[in-house]
A = this chain, B = another copy of it.
Amino acid sequence: MSQQRVVRPTPISGFPEWTPQVRAVEQRWLDHIRAGFESFGFASVETPSVENLDVLTAKGETSQEVYTLQRLQADAKDDTDARLGLHFDLTVPFARYVAQHFNELAFPFKRYQIQRVWRGERPQEGRFREFTQCDIDVINVDSVPLHFDAELPRIVHGVLSGLDLPAWTLNVNNRKVLQGFYEGLGVKDPVAVIRAVDKLHKIGDDGVREILLGEGLDDGQADACLSLARVRGADAVERVRALGVSSDLLDEGLEELSFVLGDLADLPEGDVVADLSIARGLDYYTGTVYEASFDDDPGYGSICAGGRYEDLAGQFIRRRLPGVGISIGLTRIFAKLVAEGRIAPGRACPTDVVVVVPGAEQRAEALRTGALLRERGFNTEVFHSAAKVGKQIQYASKKGVPFVWFPPFGADGGHEVKDLESGEQGPADPSTWTPER
């Protein structure tokens, strides 16, 4: 204390951090998501935060966002470390994991993975450089039953429904429907059309039409593509058929979409909805695709997304491993709600009961009482000194602790407990006490 130089700590843009009250809510969310995933039999996988750079860049696409590691005091011998990069998603590490542990896994392999990921973005409002993703994937050797295309949105629906979020919709589509429809129209490059339609929510009908005409589609074809993109809701499959286009791939896609929607028919209407405008830009997806967004802020973009892919890990192993996966952007969702004041802060600490220490002589009894309450599942603090009782109650109150416990004073006293919310105080037995709330 001190002539010492003081480094004033400042937040680092893109790296979110929460007060204990907000962190308590985030932890509750994480527990809820994990329990939701496990309730469907998904197993936890965690991978190192880093991968070798040749693994991260095996597909070459997102290399510009990778953070590489360097030793602060690096020397010429340290070039090995320069080959490590923080993972920018959980799919590449999972693909590498499955390839590396292939013989140790039971297939179909259902895994969830909840971890931080990093992207070397420029500091910018609303861009996260460190954030937590919650991924589930089912992969199998050679083929994956369509069952899972329906199970994944069911899981995500259950998880999101339990988080007290502003209204959201989980949209479902099928890339085979899009590609098959465009093929049936006689379009030469269906993938270019998919890319154009994927921009619909940003550039509107006219913008998409312009691109389509530029791709060589005629007016009728462009109209049909835009009609398809307007199809949405429970009768989507019938409405697509009514557009009068046909191809084998379209039939296959509609059958798959129909299966998924039928399977999810028991969910509340409007929660999981067919939306033929959803394309998911990545070529990666080949069948069912998912994308959820907030109803009141669709421009914020997807809060969870995924789909079916033909091959998870072809860059790492010569086995065909198709799968279907979906990822919840936990930090994306949570940080937005925190910023908007829509997260009710939790308590400052997890303590249920503070046991008062009336005097040094009662300390041993207070410790015994604390141990007993803890054994019975109550998070319990024994107050840290024999301060005035009023001060001990004040401490509990300041920290939002709901109950204060009084071990016996003197020879004929008994245990008492005080409910700080109601103010009521009365006798209680630490070995049987159960609070009403």
What's the tally of chain A residues with a CB closer than 8 Å to chain B?
105
How far does the alpha carbon of A201 sit from the alpha carbon of B351 in the complex, in Å?
A: 40
Q: Is there an interface contact between A12 and B50, defined as CB atoms closer than 8 Å?
A: yes
Q: Is there an interface contact between A349 and B69, defined as CB atoms closer than 8 Å?
A: no
Q: Is there an interface contact between A67 and B64, defined as CB atoms closer than 8 Å?
A: no
Q: Is there an interface contact between B8 and A316, defined as CB atoms closer than 8 Å?
A: yes
Across the interface, name the chain B residue whose C-beta is closest to A148: B384
Chain B CB within 8 A of A9 CB: yes
Q: Is there an interface contact between A380 and B39, defined as CB atoms closer than 8 Å?
A: yes
**Segment touching B, from A20-28, A161-169, A227-235, A276-284:** A20-28
Q: Is there an interface contact between B42 and A350, defined as CB atoms closer than 8 Å?
A: yes
Within A49-102, which residues are at the interface with B (CB < 8 Å)?
A: 49-55, 58, 63-73, 77-78, 80-81, 84-86, 96-97, 99-101
Residues on B with beta carbons closer than 8 Å to the beta carbon of A398 = 106
Within A104-127, which residues are at the interface with B (CB < 8 Å)?
A: 104-106, 108, 110-111, 116, 118, 120, 122-123
Once A1-B314, A6-B318 are accepted as A-B contacts, the answer to whether A349 and B381 lie under 8 Å apart by CB is no
Q: Is there an interface contact between A53 and B67, defined as CB atoms closer than 8 Å?
A: no
Residues on B with beta carbons closer than 8 Å to the beta carbon of A314 = 1-2, 4, 6
Residues on B with beta carbons closer than 8 Å to the beta carbon of A101 = 19
Chain B CB within 8 A of A374 CB: yes
Across the interface, name the chain B residue whose C-beta is closest to A11: B100
Once A1-B318, A47-B17, A315-B5 are accepted as A-B contacts, the answer to whether A68 and B69 lie under 8 Å apart by CB is yes
Chain B CB within 8 A of A205 CB: no
How far does the alpha carbon of A17 sit from the alpha carbon of B97 in the complex, in Å?
A: 9
Chain B CB within 8 A of A130 CB: yes
Chain B CB within 8 A of A203 CB: no
How far does the alpha carbon of A97 sit from the alpha carbon of B19 in the complex, in Å?
A: 9
How far does the alpha carbon of A398 sit from the alpha carbon of B42 in the complex, in Å?
A: 15
Chain B CB within 8 A of A263 CB: yes
How far does the alpha carbon of A101 sit from the alpha carbon of B43 in the complex, in Å?
A: 36
Residues on B with beta carbons closer than 8 Å to the beta carbon of A40 = 374, 379-381
Once A84-B12, A350-B38, A379-B41 are accepted as A-B contacts, the answer to whether A104 and B7 lie under 8 Å apart by CB is no
Q: Is there an interface contact between A4 and B315, defined as CB atoms closer than 8 Å?
A: yes
How far does the alpha carbon of A8 sit from the alpha carbon of B102 in the complex, in Å?
A: 12
Q: Is there an interface contact between A374 and B39, defined as CB atoms closer than 8 Å?
A: yes
Within A339-360, which residues are at the interface with B (CB < 8 Å)?
A: 348-351, 354
Chain B CB within 8 A of A415 CB: no
Residues on B with beta carbons closer than 8 Å to the beta carbon of A49 = 15, 49, 116, 118, 130
Residues on B with beta carbons closer than 8 Å to the beta carbon of A41 = 349-351, 354, 379-381, 401
Q: Is there an interface contact between B69 and A311, defined as CB atoms closer than 8 Å?
A: no
Partner of A66, one of B72, B99, B367, B385: B72
Most buried by B among A85, A348, A350, A379: A350
How far does the alpha carbon of A81 sit from the alpha carbon of B65 in the complex, in Å?
A: 12
Chain B CB within 8 A of A145 CB: yes
Residues on B with beta carbons closer than 8 Å to the beta carbon of A311 = 1
Across the interface, name the chain B residue whose C-beta is closest to A14: B48
Q: Is there an interface contact between A86 and B69, defined as CB atoms closer than 8 Å?
A: yes
Q: Is there an interface contact between A1 and B147, defined as CB atoms closer than 8 Å?
A: no
Residues on B with beta carbons closer than 8 Å to the beta carbon of A71 = 64-68, 120
Q: Which 9 A-B pairs have the closest CB atoms?
A: A41-B351, A15-B48, A41-B381, A71-B120, A147-B384, A66-B72, A20-B43, A38-B350, A9-B100
**A interface residue numbers (CB < 8 A to B):** 1-2, 4-12, 15-20, 23-24, 26-27, 38-55, 58, 63-73, 77-78, 80-81, 84-86, 96-97, 99-101, 104-106, 108, 110-111, 116, 118, 120, 122-123, 130, 145, 147-148, 151, 263, 266, 311, 314-320, 348-351, 354, 367, 374, 379-382, 384-385, 398-399, 401
Other than the given A78-B122, A147-B382, 15 more pairs (CB < 8 A) read: A9-B52, A9-B99, A15-B48, A17-B48, A20-B43, A38-B379, A65-B72, A66-B72, A69-B86, A72-B85, A72-B120, A77-B122, A147-B384, A151-B384, A266-B367
